[in-house]
């Protein structure tokens, strides 16, 4: 390879790193794919069906014998032959979606879909208990926050479980604010996401 190669300056992105040759499958999270560029699901489908993609910048190199390219946010490298990244083991990919954009039927056919259940009091009591180790019984301050959260979600408001966890963390306990300050903070923490 000549001294003018750009390979030392290249770094694979998260998808490229997930597809890089490895002895075991890598994992990749694509959060909120429905908010991505409209072409991403189709482009992703094409890359995953082939299990490879080209690095355009390396196609311009005269020497195609192979170069080492850094993986995403790592000092580790992978060997790229002929300007193509080819996976040996397909990655395990988790995609999340809020349903704000319709994804194509061919794309969805290749996915195992799981719809998150609507949270109920018992489920949220378990979540809060495990994450924050606080008393979640009905009638306790935490229990009342959970009940209010479930009532609002069932009423059609869009709230996230992390909002509830933040509210419990900040509004319950010996150092929690009281009175008007508590009310203002609770209103901010539990704001309806569809109106944000």
pLDDT at position 1, please?
46
Q: Give residue-wise pLDDT tens across range 14-46.
A: 999 999 988 899 999 999 998 888 888 888 888
Q: Give residue-wise pLDDT tens across range 136-179.
A: 999 988 999 999 999 999 999 989 999 999 999 998 888 889 88
Q: What gap in Å lies between CA 125 and CA 148, rounded to an integer?
A: 12
Region 103-112: mean pLDDT is: 88
In Å, the largest CA–CA distance within the chain is 73
Q: What gap in Å lies between CA 89 and CA 119, rounded to an integer?
A: 36
SS3 label, residue 178 = coil
Q: Give residue-wise pLDDT tens across range 44-91.
A: 888 888 888 888 888 887 666 788 899 999 889 988 888 888 989 999
pLDDT at position 164, please?
95
SS3 label, residue 54 = strand
What pTM did the predictor assign?
0.69
Token digits for 42?
């189709």
Q: What gap in Å lies between CA 124 and CA 130, rounded to an integer?
A: 10
**How big, in percent rounded to 5, are the helix, strand and coil portions of the chain?**
40, 10, 45
């Amino acid at each position: 390879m000549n001294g003018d190669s750009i390979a030392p300056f290249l770094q694979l992105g998260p998808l490229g790193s997930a597809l890089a040759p490895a002895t075991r499958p890598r994992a990749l999270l694509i959060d909120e794919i429905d908010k991505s560029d409209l072409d991403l699901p189709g482009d992703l489908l094409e890359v995953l069906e082939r299990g490879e993609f080209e690095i355009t910048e390396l196609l311009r190199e005269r020497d195609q014998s192979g170069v080492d390219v850094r993986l995403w946010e790592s000092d580790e490298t992978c060997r790229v032959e002929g300007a193509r990244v080819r996976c040996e083991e397909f990655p395990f990919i988790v995609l999340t979606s809020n349903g704000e954009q319709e994804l194509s039927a061919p794309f969805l056919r290749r996915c195992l879909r799981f719809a998150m259940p609507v949270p109920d009091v018992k489920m949220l009591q378990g979540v809060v208990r495990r994450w924050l180790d606080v008393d979640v019984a009905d009638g306790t301050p935490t229990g009342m926050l959970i009940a209010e959260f479930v009532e609002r979600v069932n009423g059609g408001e869009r709230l996230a479980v992390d909002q509830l966890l933040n509210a419990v963390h900040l509004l319950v306990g010996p150092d929690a604010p009281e009175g008007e300050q508590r009310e203002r903070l609770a209103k901010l923490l539990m704001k309806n996401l569809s109106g944000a």
